[in-house]
Amino acid sequence: MPLRFLCDSRETGGAWSLFEEEVPLGMGPPPHRHDWDEAYYILDGEVDFEIDGDPIRSKAGDFNYLPRNTVHAFKGASRAPAHVLIFAAPAHASEFFEEVNAEVRNIPNDLTKVPEIGRRHGIHFMPAPVSAST
């Protein structure tokens, strides 16, 4: 999911960061929480969020605010990739994404590095639900 940094932690003294993310259909992070506040503004397209277990369809012009430690996930929901502005305060998100961009080069093999990188930056991925066997 292409990410463009508009303002990172170095420019704000660590107070906040702002980036634009392109979210393709069906793509997005798994459920997670982190120790910073985050706000999403949908520039175009549609994104399906799950916020504390509640599904929310967001479209161009919609805004979602998630206080720190809110469990959330999202996926692109429109044929063309959605474009989303993401504001994070404090600015730990930019440091996380910079490290992911540097360390995760070989997809899907390097994806196993993401949970540990996340832990270093205050991100906690939720365990996958256990399927009932029939």
Residue 91 pLDDT: 87
Q: DSSP E strands: which ranges in 3-71?
A: 3-7, 17-23, 32-34, 37-44, 46-51, 54-59, 63-66
Give the CATH superfamily of 3-91: Jelly Rolls (2.60.120.10)
- Per-residue pLDDT at 115 exceeds 70: yes
What are 71's two structure tokens? 């469990």
As a whole number, mean pLDDT of residues 39-45 equals: 99
- What gap in Å lies between CA 33 and CA 37, rounded to an integer? 10
Between 2 and 16, residue with greater pLDDT? 16
- What gap in Å lies between CA 2 and CA 94, rounded to an integer? 14
- What gap in Å lies between CA 75 and CA 77, rounded to an integer? 6
- Per-residue pLDDT at 99 exceeds 70: yes
Closest-CA residue to 77 (of 24, 36, 21, 31): 24
What are 10's two structure tokens? 């170095």
The answer to whether the beta carbons of residues 57 and 46 sit under 8 Å apart is yes
Between 101 and 23, residue with greater pLDDT? 23
Judged by phi (left if over 0) then psi (alpha if -120 to 50, else beta), residue 69 lies in left
